[in-house]
Amino acid sequence: MQLLSRRSRYVKNIILETENRAHELISQGRKIVKLNRGDPPHYFPTPKYIIDAYIDALKEGKTFYSKAAGEKELKDAVIGRYDRMYGAQLNEEDVIITAGVSEALLFINNMLLDPGDKAVLFRPYYAQYIPRIEVEGGRVVAGRYEMESGWKLDLDGLERKLKKTGRQKGRIKYMMITNPHNPTGNVLRRKELTRLADIANEHGIVLVSDEIYDEIVYNGAKFTSMAEVARGMPHIILNGVSKNYLSTGFRVGFMIVPGEDKASVVLKKKLADYALLRLCINTPAQFAAAEAMNNTKEHGKSIKYIVKEISKRVNYSVMMLRENEHISVVAPNGSFYLLPKLDFSRLDFRSDKEFVETALNEYGVQLTRGSGFGEPSHFRIVALPPVETLDYAIRQINRMCEEHSRGMKAMATAKRKAIDENAPAAI
Ligand X SMILES: Cc1ncc(COP(=O)(O)O)c(C=O)c1O
- The residue within the footprint of ligand X, chosen from 36, 38, 302, 404 (CB under 6 A), is 38
332 is a contact residue toward ligand X (CB under 6 A)? no
Query: Which range of residues in 70-78, 98-106, 132-140, 288-296 is near ligand X by CB under 6 A?
Result: 98-106
- On the question of a cis peptide bond just before residue 183, with omega within 30 degrees of 0, the verdict is yes
Helix (H, G, I), strand (E, B) or coil at 189: coil
Site string for ligand X, 187-216 (x = CB under 6 A): -----------------------x-x----
- The residue within the footprint of ligand X, chosen from 102, 194, 295, 358 (CB under 6 A), is 102
Q: What residues are paired with 238 via a beta bridge?
A: 210, 255
Structural contact between residues 225 and 237, judged by C-beta atoms closer than 8 angstroms: yes
- The residue within the footprint of ligand X, chosen from 66, 182, 302, 311 (CB under 6 A), is 182
| Neighbour-count burial of 328, counting CB atoms closer than 10 A to its CB (0-12 exposed, 13-18 middle, 19+ buried) | middle
219 to 248, contacts with ligand X by CB under 6 A? 240, 242, 248
Beta strand segments in 116-226, E: 118-123, 139-146, 152-153, 172-178, 206-210
**Cα–Cα nearest to 127, from 377, 381, 380, 373:** 373
Query: Which range of residues in 52-60, 79-87, 97-105, 148-156 is near ligand X by CB under 6 A?
Result: 97-105
Query: Which range of residues in 94-102, 222-230, 314-322, 404-412 is near ligand X by CB under 6 A?
Result: 94-102
- Nearest residue (CB) to ligand X, 240 versus 258: 240
Structural contact between residues 385 and 427, judged by C-beta atoms closer than 8 angstroms: yes
CB atoms within 10 A of CB 97: 28
- Nearest residue (CB) to ligand X, 25 versus 196: 196
- Nearest residue (CB) to ligand X, 108 versus 356: 108
- Nearest residue (CB) to ligand X, 5 versus 13: 13
**Nearest to ligand X by Cβ — which residue?**
100
- The residue within the footprint of ligand X, chosen from 82, 86, 126, 355 (CB under 6 A), is 126
- Nearest residue (CB) to ligand X, 241 versus 401: 241
Distance CA 354, CA 45 (A): 34
36 is a contact residue toward ligand X (CB under 6 A)? no
Find the shortest distance in angstroms from Cβ 339 to ligand X: 13
Cα 116 vs. chain centroid, distance in angstroms? 25
159's CB contacts (< 8 A; 6+ apart) are: 199
Distance CA 306, CA 36 (A): 19
Q: Note the residues at the interface with ligand X (CB under 6 A).
A: 38, 100-102, 126, 178, 182, 210, 212, 240, 242, 248, 253
